[in-house]
Amino acid sequence: MPAAVIDPKYSIGIAEMDAQHARWVALIQQFRAAAEGHMGDATGLSAARQAIDALLAYTRSHFKSEEALLASHHYPGLEAHRQLHGELEQAVIALQEQLHRHSSSTPVKLNLLVTVWLMEHIHKHDKEYAVFLRAKGVS
């Protein structure tokens, strides 16, 4: 998969995290493409399951990377940020479980989760830590 680029309105100005956020969005789009209109057939369902499994794995990897970055710079809001990550991870796990039970509403729920939670999280919470990191010279 080619390197993804984050929509500038969601850029936080920390290159490594922007690249990871872009990859995350690309995985979400991959899930949407696999699920859209194909949840009724075995091939589409299998592709959607693989895509959501990859999305969850990347979510965990991204959170670990982001939290390590914040810890290395002694970000004072790290524990609160970690808690937000835990909430999103649990929401994605719930969607993954629904999809593995063959819930046709999973793509709609994931779309809502992404639209509301993920983009708001990046736009608000990640931009907060970015201000802190940029003040320390991280870019």
Q: Give pLDDT, residue 88.
A: 87
Q: Give pLDDT, residue 24.
A: 83
Stated pTM of the model = 0.82
Task: Answer yes or no: are the C-beta atoms of 107 and 113 closer than 8 Å.
Answer: no
Q: Where are the domains of the chain?
A: 13-135
Residue-wise pLDDT for 66-96, tens only, equals: 999 999 999 999 999 999 999 989 988 888 8
pLDDT of 103 strictly over 90:
no
Q: Give pLDDT, residue 77.
A: 96
Q: Give pLDDT, residue 84.
A: 92
Q: Give pLDDT, residue 75.
A: 97
**CA angle 108-31-128, nearest 5°?**
80
Cα–Cα dist 107/95, whole Å: 9
pLDDT of 100 strictly over 60:
yes
What's the CATH number for 13-135? Answer: 1.20.120.50
Task: Answer yes or no: are the C-beta atoms of 118 and 29 closer than 8 Å.
Answer: no
